[in-house]
Amino acid sequence: MSKIPFNKPFIAGKELYYIAQAVALGNIGGDGHFTRCCAALMEQRFGVGKILMTPSCTSALEMAGILCGLGPGDEVILPSYTFVSTASAICRVGAKPVFVDIRPDTLNLDERLVESAITPATKAIFPVHYAGVSAEMDTLLQLAARHDLWVVEDAAQGVNASYGKQSLGSLGHFGTFSFHETKNYMCGEGGALAINDPQFIQRAEIIRDKGTNRSQFFRGEVDKYTWVDIGSSYVPSEIACAFLYGQLEMMDEIADRRRQIYARYSFLLEDLQQAGILQRPHIPSGCQSNYHMFYILLEDGPTRDALLDHLRSRDIHAVFHYIPLHLSPVGRTFGYNDGDLPVTERVSRCLLRLPFYHELTREAQEMIVTEIRSFLLGRRNNRLAA
């Protein structure tokens, strides 16, 4: 049996050609032709006023934190069940992460628990669109408006997904995207900041370019460029953007394939959900997923761990995530303990992500599910007999 990896970066076709073109154009630094192409394509497709390409989603989150004016003494509400960057970007600007539990269906920030976490120090909410399925944005945006909070969407996994008619990343004050090689559209490492409130555009351009007004200089708006604010090196290489443009151009084809893979897993696993053996992902009506991943929730941690080992023994590389951030070494320094966020902690023990990549074949999916089925039914029968 040949090995089934967890992820396999997909080359859509023109990536290397565009890199060669970038080299031929003579500008492989920042903000060249392909950087502008990527930003324009996403501004148009996602209905975002301004997209700034960045080296990663993490750097876009850091920029959002700076632009929101977050600092020491400020609190930011976010899920604990997320990748480290959502929280590390908040700490990077000196603010304090306040972790709230997730909904058991979408595994997104539980909007019903947010209001009670708001204090006079709360300045922002950073919802995450887990697996490319939107958090409950109407409720979160209403809460934010009522309490005068910034909303930064961590849409790292939500590129080309939507909530109602609006693209993820276009709903909050800011949205952040990732083009890491594990994401739907990728260039190895890459990201973008979506700015939905025009008052921030000018300062964002400055922070992104080492605190200089170079963007205004290139547009001819000022006659020299100089140091005007804090900032960092948040401009990606034109080479990465050239590669990414080859992927973004094929967005619909890539999305179609992911939808097929997701639908097949969902279909093949339906009876196991009906038998109460596992839970498949849930997409609320009104949310359009980008099918970033397919996961299953098992009945307990030992079952998840045993299934993971079983699949590995068959050379099928399923993976789990996340270690809850509130229980990480840094998270605990904020005073969190085991049991504080029960849904997060259960999901962390029970979730398994299945192999998911463009070239995953129907036969491979059938084989993966056959292994899952025989293992889980066997385990259940053994328990019943005991």
Q: Which residues bind ligand PLP (CB under 6 A)?
A: 56-58, 82-83, 85-86, 128, 154, 156-157, 178, 180, 191
Would you list the DSSP string of 315-359? TB--B--PPPGGGSHHHHTTT--TTSSHHHHHHHHHEEEPP--TT
| Closest distance to ligand PLP from the beta carbon of 368 (Å) | 22
Question: Nearer Cβ to ligand PLP, position 88 or 166?
Answer: 88
In angstroms, the CA 369 to CA 265 distance is 8
b/e per residue, 158-185, with b = 16+ CB within 10 A? bbbbbbeeebbbbbbbbbbbbbbebbbb
Indicate if the alpha-carbon torsion angle 322, 323, 326, 329 is positive or negative: negative
* 30 token code pair: 């920042």
CB of 51 to ligand PLP, least distance (A): 15
Rounded to a whole number of angstroms, the minimum distance from the CB of residue 314 to ligand PLP is: 27
| Of 157 and 237, CB closest to ligand PLP | 157
Tell me the HSE value of 157 on the side-chain side, using a 13 A CA sphere: 20
Q: How far is the CB of 377 from ligand PLP (least distance, A)?
A: 32
Neighbours of 340 (CB within 10 A): 16
| 193 within 8 A of 35, measured Cβ to Cβ | no
Nearest distance in Å: CB 218, ligand PLP: 26
